[in-house]
Amino acid sequence: MAATIERMRIRLRRNDQVEVLSGKDAGKKGKVLQVIPEKNRVLVQGVNFIKRHTRPNPQRQIKGGIAEREAPIHASNLMVVCGECGKRTRIGSMRLEDGRKVRVCRKCKGALDR
pLDDT digits (tens, 9 = 90+) for 15-43: 999 999 999 999 999 999 999 999 999 99
* Whether pLDDT at 2 is above 70: no
Exposed (0-12), middle (13-18) or buried (19+): which is 45, by Cβ within 10 Å? middle
pLDDT score recorded for residue 6 = 81
Name, in order, each residue with C-beta under 8 angstroms of 112's C-beta and a sequence gap of 6 or more: 16, 80, 82, 83, 91, 102, 103, 104, 105
Residue intervals in the chain for CATH 2.30.30.30: 1-81
Q: Which CATH number fits domain 1-81: 2.30.30.30, 1.10.287.130, 2.102.10.10, 1.20.1560.10?
A: 2.30.30.30
pLDDT score recorded for residue 8 = 83
Q: How many whole angstroms separate alpha carbon 20 and alpha carbon 39?
A: 18
